[in-house]
Structures are given as C-alpha cells and as structure tokens.
Structure 1
Amino acid sequence: MKTKMTISFSGILMMLALISCSSEDKKNDTVGKPASASKKAEMNMVVGIARIEPEKGLLNIYANANGRISKIVAAENQSVSKGSDLALLDNQTDNALLAIEQSKAPAQNAAILSATQNAKAVLSDLQKAQKDEALNEQLFKARAITEQALNDSKSKVTRLQYDYQKLIADIAQQKSKVQEIDANIKYRKAILSDRQIKSAYPGRVLQWDVHDGDYVTPGQKLGQYAPDGPLIAVTEVDELFSDKVAKGMRAEIYSQMNGQKTGSGTVVFIAGFLKKKSLFSDENTVEDRRVREVKVLLNTGAKVNINNKVDCKIYLK
C-alpha cells in the first residue's frame, strides 16, 4: 500500500515540473520580443513613380493660321526669350495686302489736308460775305444801294454756307475712310502676327512635330515647349494612402536606372479628388484603383531632365 502511494505522488511531482517548464518557456518567449512586435508597424513613407516637368507645365506649340511653314526659327533644345519667333508661316500674300492698305493712308491724309485748307478759305470768304450782307442791309435802308445788290449779297452768303457745309461733310467722310484704312491695316497685321509663332515665356524648345514646308491648320500641334523656372515631380498616390500626404512634407527622388538619389523637394500640391491611374500604371493591369495627383517642388541642384521618370519617396513624418 505504501509503494502505490509513493508512485502516485512521484507522478504528480513530474506533471507539476512539466507544467512549470512550459509556463517558463512561454514567459521567456514573451520577454524576448519587443513591445511593438504585437502591434502593426507604422508607415512612415509612400513611394510612387513620378514624371519631371517645369513648374508651369509642358506647353504645346500650336498653329494659329493655315499655311506652309516657311522656317522653323528655334531648333530643338534651343533656349529662347519671351516673344521671340519659334516658327514662321508663309506670309508673302499677307505682306502684299498689308502694303496695299498702307499705301492708301498717305493719299487719304493728303485729301483731308486739302479739304481742310479749302474749308478754311471758304469759311473766311463766308465771314466776309456775311459782313458785306449786314452792311448792305444798312445801305439799302438808307437807299444807298438797290434791292438787287442786297439780294446778290444774300445769295453769295447762302452759296458760301452751302460750300462750307459740303467741305465739312467731305472732311468727315475722308476721316472715316482713314479710320477704315487703319482698321484694315490692323487686321492685316493681326493676320501676319498669327503667322508668326512666338514664345509665351522664356524657355526651351523640346521637340518639333513638323518640318519646313509642311502645311498646317489652325489648332494643329506643332511641337512642345518647356518654360524656364523650377522643376516639379508629378506623382500619384494610391487612394489607400492619399489622405496621409500633406503639403510641406519632405520628398526625395531616385533614378530608376541605378537607384541613386537625384534630388529632394517639398510637397506643394495635392489634388482635391481621386482619378484613374495615368500613364504611370501598368498597361496590362486590370485592377481598378484610384489615385490622387501630388506635385513635389524640387530643390535647386536636382540632377534630372524634363520628362524623366523617377521613383519618388514622400516622408509622412
């Protein structure tokens, strides 16, 4: 009986020892892990593909009139100033029409000058005739002249008044013609201006889609132009993380060729709406994801070229 009791007690001790070891192992495992291991790691950045653009955007060059390109003035990659010619359309006909209108102006101005001088002379004669008429009125009352002489003086005043009014009307008509000529000259100059394709900002021509001699139509895209100024990286942030990005956050860009950092900057623009993925998305993907456009103003010294595709990291903290 004593032997049986001893075996049972020994078994109980072994079971307690095993339970104690198991509990100790679990405790040791818990102590060995960091406190944050049980929590999900916090995200401190978002990464996306970005395209490098001028801050003012890439500008397309358009034709404003029909015609053939007579000369591409600014070559690709050439820097130009504001208002300088980029390309010229054939303008021989328009120059000829402008010359015709401009030739009319001197003759018309001469006609106005002549009519004005004649009007002054007639006015002088009219004023003298009116004085003579007043004098003849007194002489007739004094019976110093005949009634016929008085009537002749009145007729002369009437005739001179008619001549003067006619000259004034002619001068007004001549001036109206001058205004019409001036309007035609401005119109012809405007047409010629449309045949001169000029730069809106200082910048650089990136590419031409046309060549000398090509026929173009109004609104046709001729090339692309990059205004001078700071560069931006335009990227897209997935809708899952778009609310985490804010203006003023620090960003860095990296080359897709070798992974090296090529610049840094600050978030300056966040679109107020979501849109479909743009050219940054994989053409083969069928996933319907929404993104928010974000623009990063790059610091001076960034080693990038316009239209480069780069990796963009935006630091959330």
Structure 2
Amino acid sequence: MTNSIHPDIDYLLSKKMFIRIFIYLIFVLPFLVLSNCESGSSSTDMNQSRIDINDIQFVVGLGRIEPELKMLELTSEIQGLVERVHIQPGEEVVQGEAIIEMRRDVEKARVKQAEAKVESQIAIVQGSEASLAAATIKMENAKKNSERMESLFQQGVVTQSSFDDVRTSFESLLEETNRLKAELTSQQFLLKQYQADLELVQAQLRQKIIEAPADGQLLSLDITIGSMITPGQPFGTFALKSPITAYCEIDELFAHRIKYDQRSVIRSEGMTDTLAVGTVVFVGPYLREKSIFSDDVSQLEDRRIREVRIQLEPNPSLLYGQRVECVVFVDE
C-alpha cells in the first residue's frame, strides 16, 4: 500500500513545482529584467550627462549696452525755472556746451551791482595810489632837505630854529605817507573783497546754465520750458563719449573661464542673430553677491556672478540700455 501512495505524492509535488516555476517566469522575471534595464539606462544617462566644464567652447551671459565710461544723471546744484532748452535728446554735445538755461534775472542784476562796486573801488584805489605817489615824492624831497639842513646846522651855518622847521616838515610828510600807505592797503583789501563778491555772483549766474560735463550725447531730458528744477534731482541722462560696450554678467560656475581679449558676439535676448562682435576688455576681480541687473537693491540673489565688459565694434543699430546676450568664446 505504501508503494501505491508514493507515485501520487511525487506527481503532486512535481506539479506544484511546475506551477511555481511557471508563475516565476510569467510575473517575476520580467520585472527583474525591466529593473535591470532601467538601472543600466540610468547609469548610462548619468555618465553621458557628466560634462567637463573645461570642454565648454563658449559661455553665455546676460548683458546691457553701455558706453565704456557709462552714463550720468544730470542734476543741478540750485533751484530754478527752465527758460530755454538748447539741446534735445539724441544730439551730441561738446564739453561746456549749454544744455538748458534757467531764469537768471536776479543773478544778472547782482552781477551788474557787483561789477559797479568793483569799478568804483578800482577808481578809489587808483586815487589812493596817486596820492601816495605824490606824498612819497614830497616826503623824499623833505628828507633830503632835512639831511642837508642837519649838516649845515652841525657846521653852524643855520640856526636851530631853521633846522627844526625843516625836520618837522619832513616828519609831517613821513606821517602823511604812512597814512596813505595804510589807506591804500585798506582800499586794496576792500577791492579784493568786492572782486570775490563779483566772482561769487558770477558763479551763481553760471549755475543757472546746465552745461555738458564732457563730450557725449544727451540721451533723455525729463523737463520742458517752465519746469522747476530741484537741487540734486535728476532731470536727464547723459552718455559720455567713449567706445560702445556690453556690460554683462557671467555665472560663477563659468567665471574662471573668462579672460581678457576673448572673442565675443552679442545677440538679441533669446535670439541667435548676431548684433555685434567684440572682445573682452574688463573682467571683474571678484564675484558679486547679487545681479547687476536686479532692480531691487534689497533683493538677495542665490547665485553670484562675475562682471565682464566687452568692447564692441561700432554699430548704429545698438541702443544704450538694450538688454542682450553676450556669448564669450572661452576655448580660443
């Protein structure tokens, strides 16, 4: 009976084993194969994504078109009402050329008044100089006469009274000469004071005319005739005459690859067309903590950048303040 049961048990065991193997082949093995494939693919992708920074051929950074000497804000030291506008935005000017002129009737009157005082004082000084010159001549003659009378008195030729009269006359003329010298000094000092007052009101008059600080181009003017200018308040923008450049920022990851004289191209932001070509002429000596293009000075930036200036070949299509992309070829 025992021998008749064993074949059935063996049969059942072999059948269960077959079912288990079948289930493993159908459900488990495909997952293992798929997992292995994904792992291999991920490893391959990671290896492919590891790019050596030193193999990069060019670096792109955000930039802005500026003159090399940058742009200035026009301000006034004094308050005034605009009377004339001599230069319009877009026009080029030379250093010292008048841009705007404020009303200056009061300052002109003060200048005329100061000029009159100076002219009057000059006449007084000249009169004092003439009086001193005449008194000096008389004093010198009296001195010689006194010395001669003293010699004659010692010889007994003239009396004591005659000698005393001559000496008294000399001493009187000497005192008059000294008085005129002091008066001339006082009048000359007063003349210098009047001249200083004249220079002051002339300077105040000149302040009523806003002149170009250097050769360059007027970019904007936010006032018109009749506008009131407030001291220290910008009313226009001025570009100093200098080569046109792109002032850009390079991310700190690639900052070490930027060097002087590297070839660069400028293109529109987000575009591939070339606007201008140039070379790197300035590389910032340190990494800035915030972007040079951040409008909010209190806003903190997570990344650091390096400032770079690219001098461009002349191109009339470039506009100051235009945002561009700067492509610097770092493999050359």
TM-score normalised by the shorter chain: which range applies? Answer: 0.7 to 0.9
Q: Which one-letter code corresponds to 1:279 in the other structure?
A: F
In the TM superposition, what are the counterparts of 1:174-213 in structure 2 within 5 Å?
Answer: 174-213=187-226
**Aligned pair 1:300/2:314, yes or no?**
yes
Partners of 1:49 and 1:280 within 8 A in 2: no
Q: Which one-letter code corresponds to 1:219 in the other structure?
A: G
Q: Which one-letter code corresponds to 2:51 in the other structure?
A: K
Q: From the superposition, tell whether residues 247 and 280 of structure 1 become closer, same or farther in structure 2 (CA, over 3 Å).
A: farther
Q: Distance in 2 between matches of 1:135 and 1:247?
A: 89
Structure 1 residues 114-123 or 129-138, which shifts more? 129-138
Say which of 117, 140, 157 aligns to 1:127. 140
In the TM superposition, what are the counterparts of 1:1-317 in structure 2 within 5 Å?
Answer: 40=51, 42-141=55-154, 145-256=158-269, 259-273=272-286, 274-279=288-293, 288-301=302-315, 303-317=317-331
Q: Distance in 2 between matches of 1:136 and 1:228?
A: 79
Partners of 2:270 and 2:325 within 8 A in 1: no
2:235 alignment partner, SS class: strand
TM-score, with length taken from structure 2? 0.77
Structure 1 residues 160-169 or 99-108, which shifts more? 99-108
Q: Distance in 2 between matches of 1:287 and 1:172?
A: 68
The structural deviation recorded for 1:164 is 0.8
The structural deviation recorded for 1:210 is 2.3
Q: Distance in 1 between matches of 2:289 and 2:191?
A: 57
The structural deviation recorded for 1:37 is 6.5
Q: From the superposition, tell whether residues 290 and 37 of structure 1 become closer, same or farther in structure 2 (CA, over 3 Å).
A: closer
The structural deviation recorded for 1:217 is 2.8
The structural deviation recorded for 1:188 is 1.6
The structural deviation recorded for 1:131 is 3.0
Structure 2 residues without counterparts, runs of 5 or longer: 1-46
What residue is the counterpart of 1:27 in the other structure? none
Q: Which one-letter code corresponds to 1:307 in the other structure?
A: G
Partners of 2:121 and 2:191 within 8 A in 1: yes
Q: Which one-letter code corresponds to 1:265 in the other structure?
A: G
Q: Distance in 2 between matches of 1:135 and 1:228?
A: 77
Sequence identity (%): 25
Partners of 2:61 and 2:248 within 8 A in 1: yes
Q: From the superposition, tell whether residues 38 and 137 of structure 1 become closer, same or farther in structure 2 (CA, over 3 Å).
A: closer
Structure 1 residues 163-172 or 111-120, which shifts more? 111-120
The structural deviation recorded for 1:140 is 4.2
2:131 alignment partner, SS class: helix
The structural deviation recorded for 1:200 is 1.9
Q: Distance in 1 between matches of 2:257 and 2:119?
A: 71
The structural deviation recorded for 1:314 is 0.9
Q: From the superposition, tell whether residues 138 and 43 of structure 1 become closer, same or farther in structure 2 (CA, over 3 Å).
A: closer
TM-score, with length taken from structure 1? 0.80
Q: Distance in 1 between matches of 2:316 and 2:327?
A: 15
- RMSD over aligned Cα, in angstroms? 2.6
1:13-42 CA-partner distances (Å, limit 9, x unpaired): xxxxxxxxxxxxxxxxxxxxxxx9797363
* Paired residues, number: 281
Structure 1 residues 158-167 or 192-201, which shifts more? 192-201
Partners of 1:263 and 1:302 within 8 A in 2: no
The structural deviation recorded for 1:303 is 3.6
1:194-224 CA-partner distances (Å, limit 9, x unpaired): 2221112222111112222222232211110
1:99-158 CA-partner distances (Å, limit 9, x unpaired): 111112222222222222222222222222223333433554565544333322222111
